[in-house]
Structures are given as C-alpha cells and as structure tokens.
Amino acid sequence: MMTIGSKQPLPPKGNKVRLYSNRFCPYAQRIILVLDAKKIPYDVVNINLSNKPDWLYDKVPHGKIPALEVENGEILTEDLIIVDYLEDRYHQHPLYPKDPLQKAKDRILIEKFNKVVNAMYRMMMSVGRMNMTDDEVISQGLSVFEKELTERRTPYFGGTKPGMLDLMIWPWCERADILKVFGNQHILKRDKYKKLMEWRVQMTDDTIVKKSLLHSDYHIKYLQSYRAGMPDYDLILNSN
C-alpha cells in the first residue's frame, strides 16, 4: 500500500499496463475485471487514499484514482473511458456486442446504472435518517435491469458469458448485501428481482469475476471503518 513517504515504484516491465488503484474502490474493480477478462498483462499499485504519496500528484492529474498507465507513461483517468480504451486497444476477448445498435444500448444501460450507483453511495454513507428517494431510485433502477435480463433470455447481459455491461454493474452488485446491514434489506426482494438474483449467483461463480471477488464481510467491515472516519485500507492484509 503506497502512502505518504513511499518511494515511487519503477516503471512497469515489458508490455504491462499499470493500474493505480485501491482494493475497495468499485470503479477500479471495473477496470480490473476488464483487464482479467481480456487477459491483458498488468500490475497494480494500491494507494492509501487518505495519505496519498507525493509522487502520485506528479504522475496522475490531481492524484485521481483509478488511473491507468499505458504506453510511454501516458496516464488515463475515468473508469469508463479506461475500459473503452482497453476494449479498442486490445481486440482479444471482445466484451461489447458486435452489433453497433446493441453496443449503443448497452452503453446507455451502463449510464443508467450510474443513478443506482449514486443512490447506493448516498445510502451507504448516510448515518441516521434514510432518504426514501434513494430507495425508489435503486428499486426502479434494478427493475429496469430485471426486465432487460428477462427479455434477453440469456444467463448474462452479454449472452452465454459476462460482457461489458455485466462487468460494469458487477462491483456494486457484489456489494449489495451491505444494504441489508444498514437497514435497507427491503430493497433486495428475491421475488421481485428473480433473474438478477440468479445472475448474481452465476457471476460469483465466474472464473474472471472470482479473481477480484471479495466476501461481503470485507466490504461491510471496510464501510464501517470508512463511516467511522478511519478507513482501513489494509483490512485484507490484517485479516490474513
């Protein structure tokens, strides 16, 4: 874990790209999922977000995480821009549909899911009174994806295996059990989201997803430390 005073790591070796990340960041996990799915060589430098090393600001604009270091030391930021770059740059194991219209529709759904992400974030960070508007945003958003998966009649949004849409929404679905711990278990109704619940089980069994998968206990403990004002970025190391 790189923190204040840490020495800047040497440039990545060979043809590897480098991800400046944090283990508990869902936006970084999006990028890791794509790197693993496309079998792109990479290494990860995890950053302490509370005490970022000084050299990070020289390398990455505003010290923003996640960031990807590519050819000639160029730096890319913004998770969705990065995954689209990886899809265009590395043609093996394509993740978007071949059909341009379906690809556009999947991108629209990824953007729509951002409303669910924002509502989940507000809900997880709040202490005390819950915002019923966020409940509604999450419920309506999940209903859209339940209907979409039902109409596609495939185990994944990407067909017989996870595609870009699956991977982009997964980090927050992996963390969904956190809602139950903080009093919002009514949102995740199995009878209302049957297809999504089946999809979630299949995703946890997927070989690629398993590489970055964390048990809900880790996400819950990390969020508790974050809400207490002392985020434990070394939680996984300390648990071993």
156: CB partners within 8 A, 6+ apart: 162, 163, 166, 199, 202, 203
Instruction: Tell me if residue 25 is catalytic.
Output: yes
Q: Of these residues, 17, 19, 25, 95, which one is catalytic?
A: 25
Tell me the backbone φ, ψ of residue 65, rounded to 5 degrees. -120, 140
Residue 174 near residue 219 (C-beta atoms within 8 A): yes
- Give dist(CA 128, CA 126) in Å, integer: 6
Instruction: Provide φ and ψ at 199, rounded to 5°.
Output: -60, -40
188: alpha, beta or left? (left if phi > 0; alpha if psi -120 to 50): beta
CA separation, residue 211 to residues 32, 84, 170, 172, 207 (Å): 9, 21, 13, 16, 7
Are 43 and 66 spatial neighbours (Cβ–Cβ below 8 Å)?
A: no
Q: Which residues are catalytic?
A: 25
